[in-house]
Each structure stands twice: as C-alpha cells, then as structure tokens.
Amino acid sequence: MAAEDTRGLFHRAIIQSAPLGIITPGRRGMHIAMARAAERVDEQSSMEACLDAQRQVEKIGQRYLPGGLMPFGVQFGQTPLPSLRQRRTALEQRAPHCDLLIGYNVDEAELFIPEAEPLQGIFRLPIIGPRLRQVLSRFITTRLYAYPAERFAQQHADAEGRAWQYRLDWGSGRAARGACHSIDLPLLFAGWEQWRPAGIVEGMTEQDMATSGRQLRALWARFAREGTLEDEGAIEGVLKWERARTQ
C-alpha cells in the first residue's frame, strides 16, 4: 500500500496478524549493523559461510528488541518503499483508493511463548507461573498486534479511506495454543489431513474447521468483491468485526 507505483494494481487489502508493533525507528540502525556483519558474504561464499553469517546477523538483530523481532523483515527506505518517516504520508495518500480489512487473533503470542526456553522455568512456578505467562502473552499480543492494527485502521479512516477491523477468536480456549498467530491459515487454506499434524489445530475438530473455514472464506471473498461489510458483525465462534470511524 505504501510502495511507489502501486496505485491501480489493487483496490482492496486484507491484512492479517501483521506485527506492526515492531516497526520502530530503531530498525534502520539494526539493518545497517546487520548489513555490515554480512559484508564478507558474496557470490563465491559457500553454503556453510552463508548460514554462519545468517546466524551472526540474527544475533545482532536481537540487540534491538522489540524492533529486532523478525530481523529480516521489511526495510523502509529501500526502493520501492518510502522511508519510515514518510510511511504514514504515503499510506494516507493511498487510503481513499484502497478499502481495508485488518485484524488480529486474540491469542497471537501463544504461538511463540512455548518456544521461549529461558522463561519456561518461571512459567512452571506454582500459582504465579501460569499467571505470569498469561500476562506476558496478553501484553505481547496487544503491543505487537492488537493496538497497532486498531491504530492503522483508525488512521486509514481518518485519511478518508474505508476501513474495518476484526478480531479472530477461533480456537481460543479450545485449541492447544488458543487463537494463536497463524491459526487463521487452516481456515483459509482448507484441508484437514494437511493441517491435522500441526500443533496449532490440536483440540479442534475436522467438522469445526470445515464449517468455520467456509464461513471465513465467504466473508473474505465478499469483502474482496464488494469492498464493504456491515458496520459491525460476527461469525459466531470465529471472529467479530466493526467499521473504523473517523475521529
């Protein structure tokens, strides 16, 4: 949406679980440091040398948390993207020409929390451990996904664009990791046999996934065709949405 020369190529966008909270001014300094660390790699480098450099570059990225999350992500200021400072202006200019549906999953962080090995001992502490895990999970979900998505939708609406925001809760309280990051994908790309081995759908049933998936795909397709939804609505047990209003 912010890239140069894309107006007219698409008129609607559905943005799912974008970690917009990691987009910070500190990422530019991170990318410069990462590039310097990778200078020794060229077209003659071996596979082993490339993988070793990648590990070193990732370590550098971790010094810049939270901006260091997804260190190999989008780099604003690199063609065709505007600089981070100019990003909001570019998006505001595009807003009237692009209908937007943006949202997040209510338990986004539950995909990552079990992988945080240094914290597992704390989480196993009686009484306080589970509570600390819950607080951390909600904080990460809100800080990196929920609040930034709501702000993005509001800014789009304020710039005379049409915007709707959704919250997906399919699997929350039922799936092994709740409505975690990426659990929307089995609903959009159907196939129980393909998804059944994935830990994210553990606890859900084939029938539930099939029914909920059809409903979500129909909603996404309707937005793609028409560029509009009701001011508020819901698919019971799957998600809720509402229109972002100008302030």
* Statement to judge: residues 56 and 156 lie in one domain: no
Structural domain count, the chain: 2
Nearest to 20 by CA among 81, 90, 74, 77: 74
In this prediction, residue 167 carries a pLDDT of 98
Tokens 């604003």 belong to which residue? 76
Stretch 21-31: mean pLDDT, rounded? 86
Q: Is residue 151 part of a domain?
A: yes
What's the mean per-residue pLDDT of the chain? 92
Do residues 18 and 28 share a domain?
no
Are both 32 and 118 inside the same structural domain? no
Residues 38 and 119 in one domain: no
pTM metric for this prediction: 0.89
Q: What are phi and psi of 127, to 5 degrees?
A: 65, -60
Instruction: Determine what percent of the chain is predicted with pLDDT higher than 90.
Output: 73
Mark 191-207 as b/e (b = at least 16 C-beta within 10 Å): eeeebeeeebbeebeee
| Nearby residues of 149 by Cβ (< 8 Å), 6 or more positions away | 15, 18, 20, 102, 103, 104, 165
pLDDT of residue 67: 55
Among the candidates 53, 73, 93, a domain finishes at 73
Q: Inform me whether the pLDDT recorded for 12 exceeds 90.
A: yes
What does each C-alpha distance from 5 to 2, 13, 76, 104, 161 come to in angstroms? 9, 16, 16, 28, 19
| Span 41-81, pLDDT tens digits | 999 999 999 999 999 998 898 888 665 678 888 889 989 99
- Give residue-wise pLDDT tens across range 104-141: 999 999 998 877 767 777 778 888 888 888 899 999 99
Same domain, yes or no, for 53 and 117?
A: no
Q: What token pair was written down for 232?
A: 């508020």
Question: Are residues 58 and 94 part of one domain?
Answer: no
Q: Which of 8-22, 52-66, 168-182, 197-211 has the lowest mean pLDDT?
A: 52-66
Answer whether residue 230 shows pLDDT above 70. Answer: yes
Please indicate, yes or no, whether residues 113 and 55 belong to a single structural domain of this protein: no
Structural domain boundaries, residue 106? 12-22+81-243
Residue located via tokens 């196939």:
191
Q: Are residue 45 and residue 144 in the same domain, yes or no?
A: no
Domain identity same for 58 and 166: no
Q: What is the pLDDT of residue 153?
A: 98
Return the CA Rg of the chain.
Answer: 20
CA proximity to 17, closest of 133, 132, 188: 188
